[in-house]
Each structure stands twice: as C-alpha cells, then as structure tokens.
Chain A
Amino acid sequence: MGRTLSQKVWDSRVVRRAEGEPDLLYVDLHLVHEVTSPQAFDGLRLAGRRVRRPDLTLATADHNTPTVDIDKPIADAVSARQLSALEENCREFGVRCYPLGHALQGIVHVIGPQLGLTQPGMVIVCGDSHTSTHGAFGAVAFGIGTSEVEHVLATQTIAQARPGTMAVTVEGELARGVTAKDVILGVIERIGISGGTGTIVEYRGAAIRRLSMEGRMTVCNMSIEAGARAGMIAPDDVTFAYLEGRPHAPTGAAWERALDGWRSLATDEGAAFDREVRVDARQLRPYVTWGTNPAQSSTIDGVVPDPESFGDPARQETAARALRYQDLLPGTPIRDIAVDAVFIGSCTNARIEDLRAAAAVIDGRRVRDGLRALVVPGSAQVKAEAEREGLDALFRRAGFEWRAAGCSMCLGMNPDVLGPGQRCASTSNRNFEGRQGPGGRTHLVSPVVAAATAIAGHFATPEDL
C-alpha cells in the first residue's frame, strides 16, 4: 500500500521505533522565541545539559516585542527581562539569535521560509502552535510545549505518537477576490475547530496548486485552528522557485540532489487517508468570522446567524455565548458591522504578498475617520522590502500606522491591544475572547477585506468601494 506525504516525511526522520512507545523523531530545524523558551533553558542549566545542535537551532524575538520606538529601552520591565533572557540564553548556549532591531528579526514562522531554512521533507518544531505554517513546503512542522522545547534542545529529537492522516482537497478555481485566507476559513467553517484533531492535514487539489507559497503558508498556518497537529502541501515547482537562491537553500550540485529527493515527496497513488474532505473552490467567498472561535464564520454576503439555527444544543449555546461577547444580533448583515480597528499583520498574513494585496486595495483612498488601522510586517525583511516598494508611504498616506515587525496585536502581549468592547477586523488567526486585549472583539478576515474594511468603516470587499 502507498504512503501519504506526511507518512513519508515522518518515516524518514524516525531515529527509533519501538512497540508501545511513541516514535523518536529527528528534528531538522528547531525555532525558538522568547515566550516558550526561558523555562526550557533554565531546565538545561539545572541539569547541566547543553544544546545538542546549536547549528539546527535558531532564535528570534517576536511575541513580546514593541513595534514602535524599537531603538529605545522597552518600557515594560517584565517584557524587557524576557527579551534579554532570550539573548543571554542564546549567548550562553551558542544559539544564533535575531533579537529586536536585527535586520533578520521577525515572526518566527515568517523568517524560517524567508531565509530558505524551511525546506521540503524536514521535521520542524517550535514552541508555538502555528509552526504548521512551514508545512507549506512539504515539511512536517508542528508546535510543541516548553518541556518539549527543552527536550529538543537537549536531544535534537522529539518523542511523538504517529498522527493520523487527513486530506482536504480543494478542487476548481477560486473566484476573483477570494484568497488563501478564505480557503482556510471556509475549510474550518466546514470541518469545525476540532475537525482535524489527531491528524496531519494534507491540502490538495487544483485550487491549492494554484496558490503562491505565501498563500500556501496562510492555509497551512491555520491548520491548528481546525485542531490538526500540522498541515502540509506537496512541494512542486512553485516551492522550488520560491526556495532557489535563498540564503540557506542548497546551491549547485547540492541543489540538484536536493531537488531529486524533493520531487519524490508526494502522496502515492492509492494511498489511503484516515479522513477525506472535499471542498468546491467555486463555493468559497470572502469570509468574516462573527464568533469567538475560527469556525464561527460567514461569507461576507451573509448575516450573523441565529444560534437556534444550529442543530445541536451545545453549539447553540456556544453561538449564543459568542454573540453576547461580540455584541451582535442575529440577522445583522455582515457588511453592516462597523469596526473600530483594523490589524494587518501576524504569521498568517503579514508577508510581502499580503502587504502588496492590501496596498493595492487602498489605491489613494483614506482610512475611515476615527478608525485605528495598523500594518505590522511579519519580519524586518518584509518591512524593508515593502519600504523599497514604497508601500509604507502608501499606507501612511491612507492613514495607517506603519509599524516594526512582530506578533503585535495578534495576541496583544506588547502594547498593541484593543480596548474593552472595541471591534477589530484582523488578518490574524484567532478570535478567542480577549485575544487582542481584554474585552476586545476580533473578526478574522483576509488582507484585502481588512484593507477595504479600513476604508469603508464596516466589513467590505474591494469591489464594494
């Protein structure tokens, strides 16, 4: 029987397999950030252990970093301590670190691919659930907790039970204005936030093949929002073209050898998945979440649903609770919902292509009066590239704040937060209660919908303007 893509990569990284035990997997790349690592480094110190492979480990500061005045001392002492702890730990243990202010600093899931460190067939882990992003290159990439971070630092391996397999096939062509973000929001709306639990999801089909690497990363990024361990897409010419020439990509004869191996990374004909879901791309529209979990969404043409319309009582209650928190009434057209803030950023949608798409929508128009709009590039390099193209000036002229790279308002650990009751159109990945600040209300959207919403003052598509 054939094997799926995830099984092939998984099997190739097994260091040790024993009956009744999880597989011991070799980790090709371990990404580290300030929030989930200090206790892990402490653990190493206490046990007198070292980092086994500093050359396969890379750290950056992203979650907690300010996005304004980054050349000044950090006002929040607790944040400052965590950021300096990362630098000190990296120095002590010999790990390369891109701290705040470094030209290569950025959101950990943006910098890996950008540097060419994320490659097909690898196992990649990071103390962050959106590590699934890297699966867009045909890598098995998943998030881990702090104890596991310590384990990987010490052993370069991770003990994991083999996950199940799931295929999500998106056939057909996307309509104009429907983006990768809408594909994944549409998938989550269909399979639910625990629809992928226990599995690695492989995204397949013509609509996925036609996505750029940036788009594929957006899709794989939100696999965790469907409960999956990881998301993957088989590498192809789009992948190789993206990788070629990046700082850590192989060159010359090594590139040719690598390509040979990468081309074999696809699910075999006839391999069976534990679960398969098919989505017709033509049915997808721009999505807007109305609730407090990423599956609670509607197309932009829809209305806020009546909780009674959900079959099962538990879902009715969850929906009713979400609408209370979000202060929305059933039947309200999505386009009639006004927002106080717009956030374009996060590891889901803050790559150069996302910023270009948002900028194209603005096209000389202005942000609605009284609305706060933020653009936070995914990395210092994305920021520099956007500035070379003049996007910063374009955003600023329109009334957007142009910020330095980091997670920022995606999780509200730094000073970029929503006030209680404020409503935000956000290109990030989580709309949990208080995610962007206590009492804040988040609606997940694509970069083009976010940009159009900033101008209209309520949810809108570029065509509405």
Chain B
Amino acid sequence: MPLDRRDVDTDQIIPASWLKRVERTGFGAGLFESWRRDPAFVLNDPRYAGAAILLAGPNFGCGSSREHAVWALQEHGFRAIVAESFADIFRMNCARVGMVTAQLPGNAVSRLMRAVEADYTLSVVIDVGDRTVSAAGETHAFPLDDFTRMRLLEGLDDIGLTLRHARDISRYEATRAAHLPRIGGA
C-alpha cells in the first residue's frame, strides 16, 4: 500500500486517545484515525485492502515512542514497512515486535510507489534472509544487522536472550558506585 507522505508521526498512526487501553490489542481500529475520515485516504482504498507491506515517505514514525503505533499497523495486517528512512525509536520498536523496516534509497522507494500506484496487483516481496526487496523486475538490498535479522527469522524472546547473560549483569552490578541513587521500593 503506497502512503506517499513524509514525516508521518506516531500521533497520526495512532492518536493519543487510543493509548488508554491496558491491553496489547484493539489498536487496529484507531490506525490513522483522523486521516481515515477522508474517503480518498489510501487506507480506504479497497484495492489495497489486505496489503502486508506499507510503502511510505522518509522519516516514517517520528514523534512519540508509543509502541502502540506498531501494534496498530500489525493489527491492520502490515508485516513490513518500506521507506527511505525511519525515526530511531519507531524502528527499534518494530524490531522488538517482528515488524520489518526496510530502508531503501529514496528513488527506489519512489519508483516502487509509482509502480504500485499504477498496478495495485503488483506483488512486492521482502526476503529477510537475503535482506532484499523485489518488485517489478528490480531487487534492492536493505540494511539489516545480523542480530535483528536472526530475531526476525527465529522470533526469539529478547528477554530470554539477555537473561543468558545474567552473570555479566550481576558482575556489572557489583561494580556500580555506591553514591548512585536508589529508590526505597514500593
């Protein structure tokens, strides 16, 4: 699905009024709530219903750190986002919950965007193993570090991974300066 806007902020992706929920689900309905009121907004275009890849302008996901934005996109069915650049926290949040962020050169994203606008049936394939995006006879590599790639492919529990290093954590803890502040507990 092509969303040809730059600097899409997380307040647009999921407005604050949705953030009162204490559950991890139920955010899909709030996705792009205000832009969606415009019938011409791409999310309302039936031709792109069910799309799993979102093509977007540069600096996607700027603003608030709300992971709810990623949950809303996921619940709507997106599994990957392709853009020229992403905001740092947003990209981190995506990696934590298995959403692929594929960063491609701006002209490649524009060409993809035009191609998908011209032919909504065009299939775009993202290969996380190969770190490539392919469509319309073009294949582009995107940067993805080995660690994130492994977690995307194997769906590992990040906390479990870190707890393998519990000894390192305890060892570090023992060296912390005594003057560092502590809160009394509940």
Contact = CB atoms under 8 A, between A and B. Distances in A.
A91 B186 contact: yes
B186 A159 contact: no
Nearest to A159: B162
B40 interface: no
A194 B16 CA distance: 22
B16 A412 contact: yes
Given A28-B180, A122-B180, A432-B63, A194 B85 contact: yes
A151 B184 contact: no
Contacts of A329: none
B24 A57 contact: no
Interface string B56-76: 011100111111101000000
Contact of A56 (B15, B19, B34, B182): B182
A144 B65 CA distance: 6
Interface string B86-107: 0111001100110000000000
Given A193-B59, A434-B15, A151 B65 contact: no
A151 B68 CA distance: 16
Nearest to B182: A55
B165 A24 contact: yes
Contacts of B9: 293, 430, 432
Given A28-B180, A151-B162, A248-B181, A38 B22 contact: yes
A330 B180 CA distance: 53
Interface in A17-57: 20-22, 24, 26, 28-29, 35-36, 38-39, 42, 47, 49, 54-57
Contacts of B96: 145, 147-148
Interface string B163-182: 10110110011001111111
Contacts of A145: 65-67, 70, 89, 92-93, 96
B172 A15 contact: yes
A86 to B, nearest CB: 9
Contacts of A20: 145-147
Interface in B32-64: 34, 57-59, 62-64
A275 interface: no
B21 A438 contact: no
B59 A55 contact: no
A232 interface: no
Interface residues of A, number: 88
A240 to B, nearest CB: 13
A119 B185 contact: no
B172 A26 contact: yes
A200 B39 CA distance: 40
Given A16-B165, A434-B11, A96 B92 contact: no
A255 B182 CA distance: 15
Contacts of B12: 432-434
B121 interface: no
Contacts of B87: 194, 197, 227
A146 interface: yes
B6 interface: yes
A78 B21 contact: yes
Given A94-B185, A145-B89, A254-B179, A151 B20 contact: no
A79 B184 CA distance: 28
B119 interface: no
A114 interface: no
A150 B159 contact: yes
25 contacts: A26-B169, A38-B22, A38-B23, A39-B22, A42-B24, A81-B20, A81-B22, A82-B22, A129-B64, A144-B92, A145-B67, A147-B97, A148-B96, A156-B173, A194-B85, A227-B87, A254-B179, A293-B7, A293-B9, A293-B62, A314-B58, A430-B64, A433-B34, A434-B11, A435-B16
Interface of B: 6-7, 9, 11-12, 15-17, 19-24, 34, 57-59, 62-68, 70, 85, 87-89, 92-93, 96-97, 145-147, 158-159, 162-163, 165-166, 168-169, 172-173, 176-186
